[in-house]
Structure 1
Amino acid sequence: MGFGPCPAGASCMGLLCSPRPRPLQNLLLLLWTLLNCSLGGSAQGPGEWTPWGSWTRCSSSCGRGVSVRSRRCIRLPGEEPCSGDSHEYRLCQLPDCSPGAVPFRDLQCALYNGRPVLGTQETYQWVPFHGAPNQCDLNCLAEGQAFYHSFGRVLDGTPCSPGAQGLCVAGRCLSAGCDGVLGSGALEDRCGLCGGANDTCLLVQRVFRDAGAFAGYWNVTLIPAGARHIRVVQRSRNHLALMGGDGRYVLNGDWAVSPPGTYEAAGTHVVYTRAAGPEETLHAAGPTTQDLLLQVLLREPNPGVQFEFWLPRERYGPFQAQAQVLGWAPRQPQPREVDPQPPQLLEPPAARAPTRAPGPCPPCPDTRGRAHRLLHYCGSDFVFQARVLGTHRQAQETRYEVRILLIYKNRSPLRMREYVWAPGPCPCPPLAPHREYLLAVRRLISPDGTQDRLLLPHAGYARPWSPAEDSRARLAARRCPV
C-alpha cells in the first residue's frame, strides 16, 4: 500500500489502518506524515479557545467582590495565539457588610503588622495609604511614621479607593459594565438595553406653549408608563406640577409650592430643583411604572415648558392617542357636528340661539396697528377665518358660535363648528352675527381639566375678513419668532 500527501481538508494526524498493523511501519508512517504536513504549508489562522469554565466563588464574603472564569487556547505548532482574554471577571454582589467590619484593604495591610520589612528588624503597624500613584498596589503607611511601603498588588476584588465603584483586578482598576463584567465597557442605551443602540425606543422632545394668560393649572403632557430619562425645564415665575396616576399631586399641587428635593413617583426618583433665578427642572431616570401628568401652574404668561423623555416603540402609538385626548378635550358646550351644507342653511334660526338684550356698552379701546396684530397673531394658539352663526350673552361672558372657514394657525385640531368665548357681556371687539372675521384666539383649560375653551381676549384681535386682511395675516405669520 502506497502513501501520498495529505488530501485537502484532511487532518495530518490521521493514521491509515492496515489489516495487520506493524509497530515499525506505524512509527515510520507517523514520522513521514508529520514531516510531510510541516513542509506542505504553514498553519492557517489562530488557535481555538476551549469553552469558558464555571465562575469561581465571590472573592468577598460580604459587599462587592469579583468572580473569575477562565479558558485555554488550543493551537498547533505554527498557529497564531488566540485573540481575546483568557480570564474574565464579573462583579458579584453579596449582602452589605456589617457596620463594624474591617475594610478589605485594611485587612491586607494588617497582615504585615509586627513583621520586619525593608531589610531591618524594625516592625510597624500598617494602615492603607491612598496617595500613591497606583491605587491597585497594596500601599501601606507605617503608623506614626512619615513613609509608606508597597507590598505588591492588592487582592482581586479590592475597591480601588474608598467609596469608588471600581475594583482592582490583576493590578488594574476596572469598573463593571451593565453586563456585570469588569472592564467590558458595556453601557445601557437610552432605552435601558445593555449594549443597545437606542433603536428600541423613541425620543419625545417638545416645547409646550399652549397656555393662556389666566392663572391656574394647565396640562402640559402625559408621561406614560415606561418612560425613561425624563427631563423638564421651565424659566419663569410659574411652577411645574406633577400628578400621579391616582389623581394626587406629587409636587406643587393644590396651589402650594413644594420645596426642592427628591420625590418618589411612579416607581422612580423625581429630582425637583428650583434655582435662585426663575428656573425649575425635573429629572427622573425611570422607567416609570404608571402614567404621570405634567402640568404648569401659571402665575404669568407661559414662555414655554421644555420636556423630553424616551419611550419604548410599542408604547409610542398609545401615547400619541392619549396625548391627543389630553390636549383636545371636548370644549364645553360643543356644537353638534353637521354635514357640510350651504352656508345659509348652517345659520341657526333666532329661536335656537336666544340672546339677551345687551345694555349700553362703553366704547372699545383702539386696537389698530401692525404692532397689535403681530402681538396677538404670534401670541395666539389659533388664527382662523370664521363666520359668526349666533351670539349668547350672559353676566360674566359672551359665547359666539362660529363656523371655521380657513385656518392660518392652530396648535391642536379644530372642528368645523366651534364656540368662541369672550369675557363679560360687552366683549371688545364685538362680533356681529352673520359676518366673517379674522380671529386670533387662545386656548383656556380649567384647572380641573373639565373645560377646554377658545378664548377671544379683551381688546384682542378680531377684524372683518377681507383680501387685504388675509394678506396682513400671512405677512404676520412670517414675522413671528420660531
Structure 2
Amino acid sequence: MAIHPDPALHCLLVTLCSLKPRLFPLLPFLLWTLLSCDLRGAAQGPGEWTPWGSWSRCSSSCGRGVSVRRRQCVRLPGEELCWGDSHEYRVCQLPDCPPGTTPFRDLQCSLYNGHPVLDTQKTYQWVPFHGAPNVCDLNCLAEGHAFYHSFGRVLDGTPCTPGTQGLCVAGRCLSAGCDGILGSGTLEDRCGLCGGANDSCLFVQRVFRDAGAFAGFWNVTLIPEGARHIRVAQRSHNHLALVTRGGHYVLNGDGVLSPPGTYEAAGTRVVYTRSAGPEETLQATGPTSQELLLQVLLREPNPGVHFEFWLPRERYGPFQAQVQALGWPLRQPQPREVEPQPAETPVVPEAIPARVASLPPDPCGPCPDSRGRAHRLLHYCGSDFVFQARVLGRHRQAQETRYEVRVLLIYKSRTPLRTREYVWAPGHCPCPPLAPHREYLLAARRLVSPDGTQDRLLLPHAGYARLWSPAEDSRVRLAARRCPV
C-alpha cells in the first residue's frame, strides 16, 4: 500500500535536505517554508530563493577587483527553477597597486611559463595577447613566436582590456552600474542619484529671444552652482560666451573667438562645438561647483538662444530670485509633461519640475475587496497588458485620475509599451489607489476613442493592481498558464 505523506511535511523534509549544512541560521526561513508549503498545496510555481549570503573577499589585493555573494534555490519536486541569478557580483576598490606591480592578466599567463603545452615537450614564456575574439579567455602569446594559446577563462575580476572599466566575471565582460553591481545596468538619473526617478531636481528650460539694440555681449542667464546636464544651442552668426564668477571668459571673450573643443569651467568639462553652418552648442555634464554666466555676442538679430539644465530643488528658489533681480520674468514651475510651445511663438522662460509632486491622500471611501486567485485570473486573462511599473506621479481631475508610470517588466502586451506610460483610472478616488514612488503589478486595458484621437491604458474600477513582490510575481506567472487559449 502506498504511503502519502502530508504535503506540508514533505515540503519541509525537502527543504531540510537541501539546507542542512546551514540549518541553524535558516530556522526562521524554514518555519516560513512550512507555512507556505501548507498554503500552496499542489501549486506548481517556481521555487523560492534563500536570503543572500555575505559578500566574499575582494578578488584582488590592490586596485579593482570583484566580490561575490550567493543564494540557493529551494523548490519542491515538480516546481520550476527560481527566476533570477544565484550569484551577484560587485566591484571592490582597494588602494592602487604599487608601481611596477605585475598586471593580473600578465600574472595568470606567467603561471604557464616553463611548462609543456600543446602536447609537446616544448616550453615557452607567455605574455597576454589582446587580439583574440573573447576578451575573457586567458589568451597568451608565446614570446618570440607568432602564435597564441587560450588557457581557458581568466579569473574573475580580470580587466577585459587594458584601460577600460569592464571586468571579466564567469567568462563575460561586464560593466558596473552606478550601484557597483556588475551587469545591473543601473544608471544615475538627471539629479545624480543612482537609480533615481528625476524627482529630486527641477528641469529648467528657456529660450532667450531679446534682439538687442546694439552689437556686443548680452547676458542670457545665470547657470547656478549644482547645475547638471547643461545644454545650450543657437543658430546664427552670433556667438555664445561663458564667464566665470570672477569675470574670466572661458569661451569667446576679450575679442578672440575660441576654437571648438573641451574646456574646464566650474568643476566640469564644457564641450563647445561650432559647425560649418551657423550653429553652436555648449554641453556639460556637471555638477557645476560655482555660478557661470552665459552670454551671447550679438552680430545680427537674435533668433533665439535655447538653454536647459537640471537643478536641485533646494537651489531653485535662490536661482529664481537672482533671475528676477535681472528683470527676467518667471512662471511658476509646471509639470514636466506640459506640451512644448511652438518654435515660432516666443517662449516665456519657465522652470519645469521633473515630476508631479506627490499629493496628500484625499478622504475617499473604502474600495471593494479585490483579493484572491479568481480575481487575479479574471483580470490577467481579460486584460490587454500586464506589467510591473513604478508610479512616478499622479494627477487628479474631476472625473478621472492619471498616473505617470515607468514600465519595468512586461508579462503580457497586445501592442508595444513605452518605457514611460500614462495609466488612466476612472474617478477622483480610483480603486484600487496607486501611491507615488511604489512598484505595482498592473493589469490594464487598451481604450481607443471612436474618432481615434485618444489611445489610453485604462485601469478598470476594482481592477488588478498589487504591490510588487517576488511572491506576487510568482502568482502572476502562474496565472499566465491558466488562461484559456
Interval of TM-score (by shorter of Structure 1 and Structure 2): 0.5 to 0.7
Deviation for aligned residue 1:113: 1.2
Residues 96 and 213 from structure 1, CA distance in 2 versus in 1: closer, same or farther, beyond 3 angstroms? Answer: farther
Distance 2:159 2:300 in 1: 52
Per the alignment, residue 85 of structure 1 pairs with 85
Per the alignment, residue 102 of structure 1 pairs with 102
Indicate if the aligned counterparts of 1:213 and 1:300 stay in contact, CA closer than 8 A. Answer: no
Distance 1:190 1:328 in 2: 26
1:156 matched to 2:145: no
Indicate if the aligned counterparts of 1:43 and 1:78 stay in contact, CA closer than 8 A. Answer: no
1:116 matched to 2:116: yes
Per the alignment, residue 305 of structure 2 pairs with 305
Deviation for aligned residue 1:261: 4.2
Indicate if the aligned counterparts of 2:207 and 2:348 stay in contact, CA closer than 8 A. Answer: no
AA matched with 2:85: D
> CA offsets per residue over residues 234-271 of structure 1, 9 Å max, x none?
34443322223344444334444445444333332223
AA matched with 1:282: L
AA matched with 1:167: L
Deviation for aligned residue 1:215: 2.1
Indicate if the aligned counterparts of 2:156 and 2:169 stay in contact, CA closer than 8 A. Answer: yes
Distance 2:328 2:275 in 1: 33
Per the alignment, residue 326 of structure 1 pairs with 326
AA matched with 1:124: Y
Distance 1:411 1:71 in 2: 55
> CA offsets per residue over residues 420-474 of structure 1, 9 Å max, x none?
xxxxxxxxxxxxxxxxxxxxxxxxxxxxxxxxxxxxxxxxxxxxxxxxxxxxxxx
Per the alignment, residue 70 of structure 2 pairs with 70
1:214 matched to 2:214: yes
Root-mean-square deviation (Å): 3.4
Distance 2:176 2:347 in 1: 50
Distance 1:323 1:112 in 2: 68
Indicate if the aligned counterparts of 2:187 and 2:195 stay in contact, CA closer than 8 A. Answer: yes
Distance 2:152 2:47 in 1: 33
Per the alignment, residue 20 of structure 1 pairs with none
Distance 2:311 2:12 in 1: 58
AA matched with 1:190: R
Per the alignment, residue 251 of structure 1 pairs with 251
Q: How does 1:130-279 map to 2 (within 5 A)?
A: 130-275=130-275, 278-279=278-279
Indicate if the aligned counterparts of 2:206 and 2:348 stay in contact, CA closer than 8 A. Answer: no
Aligned length in residues: 308
Deviation for aligned residue 1:287: 1.4
Distance 1:210 1:77 in 2: 74
AA matched with 1:269: R
AA matched with 1:193: L
Residues 297 and 121 from structure 1, CA distance in 2 versus in 1: closer, same or farther, beyond 3 angstroms? Answer: same
Deviation for aligned residue 1:117: 0.5
Per the alignment, residue 125 of structure 1 pairs with 125
Indicate if the aligned counterparts of 1:219 and 1:327 stay in contact, CA closer than 8 A. Answer: no
Distance 2:207 2:307 in 1: 6
AA matched with 1:126: W
Q: How does 1:366-445 map to 2 (within 5 A)?
A: none
AA matched with 2:167: L
Indicate if the aligned counterparts of 2:166 and 2:173 stay in contact, CA closer than 8 A. Answer: yes
Residues 302 and 78 from structure 1, CA distance in 2 versus in 1: closer, same or farther, beyond 3 angstroms? Answer: same
- Report the secondary structure of 1:89's partner residue: strand
1:286 matched to 2:302: no
Residues 266 and 123 from structure 1, CA distance in 2 versus in 1: closer, same or farther, beyond 3 angstroms? Answer: same
Per the alignment, residue 296 of structure 2 pairs with 296
Deviation for aligned residue 1:176: 0.5
TM-score by length of 1: 0.56
Indicate if the aligned counterparts of 1:142 and 1:148 stay in contact, CA closer than 8 A. Answer: yes
> CA offsets per residue over residues 262-315 of structure 1, 9 Å max, x none?
433333222334445544332211112332221112233333322221223454
Indicate if the aligned counterparts of 2:211 and 2:303 stay in contact, CA closer than 8 A. Answer: no
- Report the secondary structure of 1:319's partner residue: helix
- Report the secondary structure of 1:296's partner residue: strand
Residues 252 and 70 from structure 1, CA distance in 2 versus in 1: closer, same or farther, beyond 3 angstroms? Answer: same
Residues 97 and 261 from structure 1, CA distance in 2 versus in 1: closer, same or farther, beyond 3 angstroms? Answer: farther
TM-score by length of 2: 0.56
- Report the secondary structure of 1:230's partner residue: strand
Which is worse superposed, 84-93 or 236-245? 236-245
Which is worse superposed, 276-285 or 302-311? 276-285
> CA offsets per residue over residues 379-427 of structure 1, 9 Å max, x none?
xx9xxxxxxxxxxxxxxxxxxxxxxxxxxx9979xxxxxxxxxxxxxxx
Deviation for aligned residue 1:119: 0.8
Residues 13 and 87 from structure 1, CA distance in 2 versus in 1: closer, same or farther, beyond 3 angstroms? Answer: closer
- Report the secondary structure of 2:326's partner residue: helix
Distance 1:151 1:315 in 2: 56
Distance 2:158 2:9 in 1: 50
Indicate if the aligned counterparts of 1:211 and 1:218 stay in contact, CA closer than 8 A. Answer: no
> CA offsets per residue over residues 194-253 of structure 1, 9 Å max, x none?
223334434333332213141222111121222111111234443322223344444334
> CA offsets per residue over residues 160-199 of structure 1, 9 Å max, x none?
1222221110001111111110011111222222223334
Residues 214 and 411 from structure 1, CA distance in 2 versus in 1: closer, same or farther, beyond 3 angstroms? Answer: farther
Distance 1:54 1:267 in 2: 38
Distance 2:124 2:12 in 1: 62
Deviation for aligned residue 1:88: 0.7
AA matched with 2:154: V
Distance 1:59 1:203 in 2: 42
Distance 1:150 1:194 in 2: 38
Structure 2, unmatched stretches of 5+, are 14-33, 330-344, 350-485
Residues 101 and 281 from structure 1, CA distance in 2 versus in 1: closer, same or farther, beyond 3 angstroms? Answer: farther
Residues 118 and 257 from structure 1, CA distance in 2 versus in 1: closer, same or farther, beyond 3 angstroms? Answer: same
Indicate if the aligned counterparts of 1:210 and 1:411 stay in contact, CA closer than 8 A. Answer: no
AA matched with 1:217: F
> CA offsets per residue over residues 71-101 of structure 1, 9 Å max, x none?
2223344443322211111112223334533
